[in-house]
Structure 1
């Protein structure tokens, strides 16, 4: 493999001159000299070292994205939007899966800082863990102090640019729809209890219950992982624990799909016997039978907006920007009024 020195010898210039030309240095270089160096690069099929380029260039070209799990449809849709903006701006995206492990998330921030990325987008939920939150905030502030940019998606205890989905309002929309249909015995499949996303969505459901003169007790709530298997197991627990349940609200669509599988395996008709509503409006929600009622978040747009914030030119007063992503209700065939005897 050709080296920088090989290119310099072929072109008859110094290695410093070659470095300035291939890294687009602002220091002026004659056009004839530039063409000679680029011809040598082509002849030798020289491939610049990415780490060396980052050190040589005045700008940083890579951006880091920390998600809980990019295979999760929620994060896959957000990442699609993040990557679209980064690609349009000539940026390399480094995707890091934390698998909802706060310590791994902290380690990724250090790693992305060490690689001199231009920005970090934190796309996963915040944590109900004060020491972890404080450590993360310190690391992000240090990263910003050395020239990096930070944008977060969701509720985090970090001052700066943020896209905040209407999780609490979305939870209210889901429960309000069920109560308006006439349901009074509603089970909730919540996500992991240590995540702020779970807390916010659950708070919206509780608010809707109060609005309609009901109360969601701990007996009606089952916490689970944000995936299909978690939803199936939680649905089974709720059906056994709360006889007469007529509706289930799952706090993401993957869990709702798992709940649908559980209901089908028990011979429970949806929505004739039990109504089911999800959250996020994943593509799969229209492909299951019956199609899933859900709360829609504009996930790809959230990614677009978050990356745009991360790569924007910061105003002179260094002010941060917080934008909200609207939640909307999508009613499909998985919800209906409860059986006549339960109205």
Structure 2
């Protein structure tokens, strides 16, 4: 049976109220000698403090909820690492929930709503929504989070959302995408297929807008804009959809993609995992990267160092983004965070000098 607080109080020779003040974190702390005696008794008996009692005493649970889309996605794991680092520094623990579980019986948004409701029931001090926000938020989610904020909770999103009073970490998705295209244009790439991800997700949509705006400044249009899932399978399927639209989709050489005098064709993905899926699709058709087709992504996820050829991408400081989100979530009077920018990284998959066949 778990050791009760009354047993600790009896062992230490103090009142139940005094033992509670020491072990549950009340601001009314007894004298040091008494507090040491209570802690010694608790350790000797193996007492574990009740989290609900601590929350009542401190007016805080010491918990922060983090909602990601796919726990296995290196993008989210890097952000989660940053969140955890900041949370530990402020003596908080992170509760993590993923929303990518495919359940045909549930409507879109059910998994995220269930995670948020669970965090609210645990009285977390803050909730961080790391997944890309929808153009139109689920009204059930908006209602739940609005009430949570009105009751003193704090909500942080990565990128703007329609959730009233949510704090925002702004990320240079549009400008970064435009910068990536501009750098590739400088390297001689003029033909692009955009693997756009889901249009209803703000991150994918804004990045694609950045790609297109920079192309239009040069009077260029992409050969195709293909929408799909915002993951590796989505990148694979979108690439195959484009290849299958060609006159010779079964060609085992680059002849279906290039002709004499053409600039390289670059598959420009809205994130890195889609780009990796695109590379798999191209190889499945016997196409070489970068000799026959090039690929670029966005984010610079940590696992890219394990892939060959190296992926050209727009690097975001992912752990720093998680750190900023947690700091914004856990400081009651924190000011709005400044925007997060990144930089283009040219690697062998596209645009790197010497990588484009001449």
Report the TM-score, using the length of structure 1 for normalisation.
Answer: 0.89
Other-structure match for 2:207: 201
**What CA deviation, in whole Å up to 9, does each residue of 1:220-263 have, x standing for no partner?**
12222222222122111112224536221011111111111221
State how 1:256-271 maps to structure 2 within 5 Å: 256-271=275-290
In the alignment, the residues of structure 1 paired with residue 53 and residue 85 of structure 2 have an alpha-carbon distance, to the nearest angstrom, of: 26
> Conserved in 2, the CA contact under 8 Å of 1:123 and 1:152?
yes
Other-structure match for 1:102: 109
In the alignment, the residues of structure 1 paired with residue 214 and residue 173 of structure 2 have an alpha-carbon distance, to the nearest angstrom, of: 13
Q: Report the structure, 1 or 2, having the larger helix content.
A: 1
1:113 to 2:120 alignment: yes
Greater shift in the superposed pair: 239-248 or 87-96: 239-248
Of 285, 300, 303, the match for 2:304: 285
In the alignment, the residues of structure 2 paired with residue 289 and residue 41 of structure 1 have an alpha-carbon distance, to the nearest angstrom, of: 55
> Conserved in 1, the CA contact under 8 Å of 2:24 and 2:53?
no
Report the TM-score, using the length of structure 2 for normalisation.
Answer: 0.86
TM-superposed CA distance for 1:61, in Å, is 0.8
In the alignment, the residues of structure 1 paired with residue 226 and residue 70 of structure 2 have an alpha-carbon distance, to the nearest angstrom, of: 22
State how 1:61-72 maps to structure 2 within 5 Å: 61-72=62-73
Gaps of 5+ in 1: none
Of 336, 345, 357, the match for 1:321: 336
State how 1:183-332 maps to structure 2 within 5 Å: 183-216=189-222, 220-242=224-246, 243-244=256-257, 246-314=265-333, 321-332=336-347
In the alignment, the residues of structure 2 paired with residue 302 and residue 82 of structure 1 have an alpha-carbon distance, to the nearest angstrom, of: 8
What secondary structure is seen at the aligned counterpart in 2 of 1:173? helix
State how 1:122-141 maps to structure 2 within 5 Å: 122-130=129-137, 132=138, 134-141=139-146
Other-structure match for 1:40: 41
State how 1:151-190 maps to structure 2 within 5 Å: 151-158=156-163, 159-190=165-196
Other-structure match for 2:27: 26
> Conserved in 2, the CA contact under 8 Å of 1:193 and 1:223?
yes
What secondary structure is seen at the aligned counterpart in 1 of 2:123? coil
Q: How many pairs does the alignment contain?
A: 332
> Conserved in 2, the CA contact under 8 Å of 1:192 and 1:226?
yes
> Conserved in 2, the CA contact under 8 Å of 1:279 and 1:294?
yes
In the alignment, the residues of structure 1 paired with residue 59 and residue 136 of structure 2 have an alpha-carbon distance, to the nearest angstrom, of: 37
Greater shift in the superposed pair: 277-286 or 82-91: 277-286
1:148 to 2:133 alignment: no
1:50 to 2:56 alignment: no
In the alignment, the residues of structure 2 paired with residue 240 and residue 284 of structure 1 have an alpha-carbon distance, to the nearest angstrom, of: 29
RMSD between aligned residues: 2.2
